[in-house]
């Protein structure tokens, strides 16, 4: 992405900070000028004293000089405080604006295609990358303006009150330091910053995955391999940083030499003019005293140019995430869903996704329907398209061809909040948030009372466990549900769906971690929901638990290979469902 476009996006996103940023810039310029004024007053005092000593006259009083120095020092401190205050105000406001922009962009991308991004990488973009982008506002624009304004004022003043030739020498030194030095190795610095930013994100993801899978890594003795992988990433980061540091070292050396080299040239040229009588001693001393301090603004250019490369590399990663198109979007004129029970229908749905070896058809001309208040089970082997179908039903994604209907209308025509408000979905791996059981259940229905929460837990097979908890509904579940077993976590997710009391319930292998007895209890609760008029779609891995549904659909390779009432399918001697059911019963010794 072009830097001009990236900077334009940053300025538009954080336009509300441009006013305070301008004030911080003005105060910064004033602060640097007040610093030069201190040296200028000292130079005038030294020049007047030297003139008096050489002429044998009376030395000037030091009190006015002391008063000027004290006043300028106080002013310098006040200006510095104001610059820092407004600069940090800009920084923290920019952080908030950028994070708001990111979160607002992530919300429409949830839940399906947000899962396709690595969690550690997304966390890095939301934290470290945004922190680095802040450098663009607080530590780039004010120093850049100061580096432009202050040297120009100094050179013009030297040309006006001293000598144009001396001003030219000073201008040349300032240009070399502020313009040429920062450009030295800039391309290397830019590529190194981009590579270092990418490697840091990969390291964050690697550490995040290692922490989550620590038990598995230790159990299989994979620790040395994971450590070696991290060491490789660390070496790659070190190599990228070293390339940037090599260029920075050359710039640092030149920044140390140029100000004093320019001052030496000014001294040699100025002494000749003083000896010739074309330049006063007072002017010469003032010029020498302000020469080195006048380089302060341009010396900062290299620092913020280097930091700017890191900042813009992070901004580019942030921009790509913010502007990633969501898989689904609200229609311009949403159509309201009808009241009462809702049926589901999938008509000629096809979907092709990009796989590692190219496009893969995960659904192919699929037709399914379940009437309002009815029940449908979807079964099939791994990779048959069952979970993709579940994603279509809740409109986490849209089919490439065909359509999904909720009630009588296409889900594309309804508002996303209405579709997802009407459907409750429980997947195989639901996320439990850190907090209490109550907090996790109230996510589905914040207005639910304790009796409703307990009833939902009872329906999900959590009754006995809940009764044994000293804190009851306020029992802590831990980070990612770490204080409960996998089966209990799945039952909490089921209870959350029951609390929502949606008109349509989609269970995507939501009982895979439950034992047969508990799964049977949960399915009894689901059957009760159907009896109450709810529409239920069960994506199952155990055939015997869905024998009660109105219809079973068998998928294979994204296609519907058979569908009928479960009793009818079970009697088909060469049917796919009958084969799956026989295999399951044989594995149980029945």
Within-domain flag for 11: no
Token output for 408: 């009588």
Residues 318 and 446 in one domain: no
pLDDT, average across residues 397-412: 89
Question: How far is Cα 298 from Cα 181, in angstroms, rounded to an integer?
Answer: 10
Residues 250 and 395 in one domain: no
Please give the mean pLDDT across all residues of the chain: 85
- The confidence band for 109, taking pLDDT boundaries of 50, 70 and 90, is low
The pLDDT of residue 590 is 59
For the cut 60, the answer to whether the pLDDT of residue 115 exceeds it is: no
Residues 273 and 355 in one domain: no
Sign of CA dihedral 245, 249, 250, 256: positive
pLDDT, average across residues 452-480: 87
- Scanning 474-536, the segments in alpha helix (DSSP H) are 486-500, 516-531
For the cut 80, the answer to whether the pLDDT of residue 325 exceeds it is: no
The pLDDT of residue 478 is 81
For the cut 50, the answer to whether the pLDDT of residue 391 exceeds it is: yes
The three-class DSSP label of residue 393 is: helix
The pLDDT of residue 410 is 92
Question: How far is Cα 72 from Cα 401, in angstroms, rounded to an integer?
Answer: 74
For the cut 90, the answer to whether the pLDDT of residue 81 exceeds it is: yes
Residues 412 and 531 in one domain: yes
Contacts (Cβ under 8 Å, ≥6 apart) of 340: 372, 503, 533
Question: How far is Cα 562 from Cα 552, in angstroms, rounded to an integer?
Answer: 8
For the cut 60, the answer to whether the pLDDT of residue 544 exceeds it is: yes
CB 477 within 8 A of CB 510: no
Within-domain flag for 276: yes
Range of the domain at 515: 344-587
The pLDDT of residue 306 is 67
For the cut 80, the answer to whether the pLDDT of residue 404 exceeds it is: yes
CB 199 within 8 A of CB 110: no
For the cut 90, the answer to whether the pLDDT of residue 178 exceeds it is: no
Residues 127 and 204 in one domain: yes
Residues 440 and 550 in one domain: yes
Question: How far is Cα 94 from Cα 88, in angstroms, rounded to an integer?
Answer: 10
pLDDT, average across residues 555-571: 89
CB 521 within 8 A of CB 513: no
Contacts (Cβ under 8 Å, ≥6 apart) of 369: 343, 344, 345, 346, 376
pLDDT, average across residues 482-505: 86
- Please say which residue of 272, 289, 322 terminates a domain: 322
Farthest-apart Cα atoms in the chain, separation? 125
pLDDT digits (tens, 9 = 90+) for 360-388: 788 888 899 999 999 999 988 887 888 88
The pLDDT of residue 111 is 60
The three-class DSSP label of residue 270 is: helix
β-bridge pairing 535-539 and 375-380 = parallel
Within-domain flag for 509: yes
For the cut 70, the answer to whether the pLDDT of residue 311 exceeds it is: yes
- Please say which residue of 291, 322, 353 terminates a domain: 322
Within-domain flag for 483: yes
pLDDT, average across residues 21-43: 90
Give the rounded percent of residues in the chain with a pLDDT score beyond 90: 19
Within-domain flag for 126: yes
CATH number of the domain residue 364 falls in? 3.40.50.300
CB 289 within 8 A of CB 172: no
- Please say which residue of 271, 287, 322 terminates a domain: 322
The pLDDT of residue 374 is 92
CB 281 within 8 A of CB 50: yes
Averaging pLDDT over each range in 134-148, 251-265, 351-365, 505-519, which range is the top one?
Answer: 251-265
Residues 201 and 282 in one domain: yes
Q: Which residue has the higher pLDDT, 56 or 230?
A: 230
Residues 175 and 225 in one domain: yes
Residues 314 and 351 in one domain: no
The number of domains in the chain is 2
The pLDDT of residue 114 is 46
pLDDT digits (tens, 9 = 90+) for 216-262: 888 888 888 899 999 999 999 999 889 888 888 888 888 889 999 99
pLDDT, average across residues 518-529: 85
pLDDT, average across residues 287-305: 84
Within-domain flag for 336: no
Within-domain flag for 335: no
For the cut 80, the answer to whether the pLDDT of residue 340 exceeds it is: yes
Helix orientation angle between 296-322 and 130-138, rounded to the nearest 10 degrees: 140
* pTM of the predicted model as reported, rounded to 2 decimal places: 0.66
Question: How far is Cα 396 from Cα 114, in angstroms, rounded to an integer?
Answer: 10
The pLDDT of residue 371 is 92
For the cut 50, the answer to whether the pLDDT of residue 113 exceeds it is: no
Residues 141 and 55 in one domain: yes
Residues 376 and 474 in one domain: yes
CATH number of the domain residue 112 falls in? 1.20.1560.10
The pLDDT of residue 67 is 92
Within-domain flag for 29: yes
Residues 351 and 215 in one domain: no
The three-class DSSP label of residue 360 is: strand
CB 492 within 8 A of CB 432: yes
């Amino acid at each position: 992405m072009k830097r001009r476009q990236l900077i334009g996006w940053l300025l538009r996103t954080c336009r509300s900070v441009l006013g305070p940023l301008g004030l911080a810039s003005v105060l910064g310029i004033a602060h640097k000028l007040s610093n030069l004024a201190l040296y200028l007053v000292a130079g005038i005092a030294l020049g007047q004293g030297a003139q008096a000593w050489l002429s044998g006259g009376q030395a000037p009083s030091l009190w006015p000089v002391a008063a000027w120095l004290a006043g300028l020092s106080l002013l310098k401190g006040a200006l510095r405080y104001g610059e820092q205050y407004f600069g940090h105000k800009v920084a923290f406001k920019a952080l908030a604006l950028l994070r708001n922009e990111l979160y607002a962009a992530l919300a429409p991308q949830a839940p399906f295609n947000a899962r396709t991004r690595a969690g550690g990488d997304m966390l890095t973009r939301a934290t470290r990358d945004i922190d680095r982008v802040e450098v663009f506002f607080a530590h780039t624009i004010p120093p850049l303006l100061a580096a432009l304004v202050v040297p120009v004022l100094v050179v013009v003043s030297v040309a006006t009150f001293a000598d144009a030739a001396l001003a030219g020498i000073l201008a040349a030194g300032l240009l070399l330091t502020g313009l040429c030095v920062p450009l030295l190795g800039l391309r290397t610095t830019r590529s190194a910053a981009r590579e270092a930013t990418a490697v840091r994100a990969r390291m964050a993801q690697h550490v995040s995955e290692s922490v989550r899978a620590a038990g598995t890594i230790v159990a299989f003795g994979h620790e040395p391999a994971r450590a070696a992988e991290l060491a490789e990433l660390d070496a790659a980061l070190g190599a990228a940083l070293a390339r940037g540091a090599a260029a920075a070292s050359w710039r640092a050396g030149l920044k140390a030499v140029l100000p004093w080299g320019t001052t030496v040239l000014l001294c040699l040229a100025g002494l000749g003019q003083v000896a010739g009588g074309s330049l006063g001693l007072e002017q010469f001393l003032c010029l020498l005293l302000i020469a080195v301090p006048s380089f302060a603004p341009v010396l900062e250019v290299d620092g913020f140019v280097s930091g700017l490369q890191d900042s813009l590399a992070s901004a580019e990663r942030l921009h790509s995430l913010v502007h990633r198109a969501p898989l689904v979007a609200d229609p311009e004129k949403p159509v309201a869903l009808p009241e009462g029970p809702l049926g589901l229908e999938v008509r000629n749905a096809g979907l092709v996704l990009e796989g590692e070896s190219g496009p893969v058809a995960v659904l192919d001309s699929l037709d399914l329907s379940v009437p309002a208040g009815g029940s449908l089970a979807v079964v099939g082997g791994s990779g048959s398209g069952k979970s993709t179908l579940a994603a279509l039903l809740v409109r986490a994604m849209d089919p490439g061809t065909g359509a999904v209907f909720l009630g009588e209308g296409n889900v594309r025509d309804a508002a996303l909040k209405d579709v997802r408000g009407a459907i409750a979905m429980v997947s195989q791996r639901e996320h439990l948030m850190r907090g209490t059981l109550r907090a996790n259940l109230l996510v589905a229905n914040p207005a639910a009372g304790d009796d409703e929460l307990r009833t939902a837990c009872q329906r999900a097979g959590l009754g006995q466990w809940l009764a044994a908890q000293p804190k009851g509904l306020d029992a802590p579940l831990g980070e990612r549900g770490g204080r409960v077993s996998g089966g209990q976590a799945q039952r909490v997710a089921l209870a959350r769906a029951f609390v929502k009391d949606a008109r349509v319930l989609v269970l995507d292998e939501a009982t895979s971690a439950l034992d047969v007895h508990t799964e049977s209890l949960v399915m009894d609760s689901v059957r009760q929901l159907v009896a109450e008029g709810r529409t239920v779609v069960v994506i199952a891995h155990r055939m015997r638990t869905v024998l009660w549904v109105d219809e079973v659909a068998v998928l294979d390779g994204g296609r519907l290979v058979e569908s009928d009432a479960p009793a009818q399918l079970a009697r088909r001697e060469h049917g796919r469902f009958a084969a799956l059911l026989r295999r399951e019963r044989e594995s149980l010794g029945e």
